[in-house]
Amino acid sequence: MAPVLTSPVVSTQWLADHLGADDLTIVDATVLVDLGLDGDTDHASVAYATGRDGFEHDGHVPGAVLADLVAEFSDPDSGLPFTRPGAARFQAAVAALGVSNDSTVVVYDTVDGRWASRLWWLFRAYGHDAVAVLDGGWSQWLAQGKPYDLGDVLPTPAPFVATERPDHWVDKAFVESVVAGDERAALVSGSPRDEFDGTSSPLTRAGHIPGSVNVPAETLLADDGTLARDPVLRDRLAVVPDEPRTVVYCASGVSASVDALAFAVLGRPDVAVYDGSLAEWVADPAAPLVPAAA
């Protein structure tokens, strides 16, 4: 019988106690980001890679499998980074990891939790609620002296059927309707403060969507990389207005997933992610953006 989850996050001790349990799949969702500068445009250039090298040579949680968020868990035809895959693509990628609809899934990464949060959100958006993020991720696993393995892991495929939940996502048209006042929703940016303010940006235009409030993903974490606890978490999210819907976004919909995780921990799993996020928004010259103050 698969372990039962009582929260969207699990501790390192919980996972250590359940290693080897039937129908438990542990997934490393690490993505490595290489920032550079495009010599032709002077804009930032970004390259992404999976964490396979670290998974094999630096270690991973025993029994874990590696998810490829760059290719398998994204839509290769969208033209935007990390756009969610369609249901059929997600279903195939999950099945290849050995996850069935009866599995309990724990995801982690070796960075700051945003990639694990993104995969956690994808699972939920495609109908799989038995999924949690390892609190503090790989760094806390090592800090607590937990065991690890080296080398590659070849999962045994399992049957998985994805059931799409459209309310977990919004598109650009919906956000435009919120900005225009035709729909009511709280817009929450999970981007760093300087990106929200428009003083820095990895994109071609800097700033934030009009009407947004800023809850940077990193402010939702404690110093040790674990998710902040209530009441700190609740205090961080207190700036979010009370509206019928809450929509989180960032540059590409990844850091925003940390905000979505925080809401879920506080009993608000009904938040939606604007999947295209600013990468899609700023590509439209007509889309309004609040720039840096003069």
- Catalytically active residues, by annotation: 250
Alpha-carbon span 11 to 291, nearest angstrom: 40
Count CB atoms within 10 A of the CB of residue 144: 12
Q: How many residues does the chain have?
A: 294
Cα-based distances in Å from 219 to 118, 142, 202: 17, 23, 20
- Identify whether the C-beta of residue 64 lies closer than 8 Å to the C-beta of residue 26: yes
Under a CB-based contact definition with an 8 Å cutoff, are residues 120 and 138 in contact?
Answer: no
**Backbone φ/ψ region at 98: left (φ over 0), alpha (ψ -120 to 50), beta:** left
**Collapsed DSSP state (helix, strand, coil) of residue 219:** helix
> 30-55: b or e for each residue (b if 16 or more CB lie within 10 Å)?
bbbeeeeeeeeeeeeeeeeebbeebb
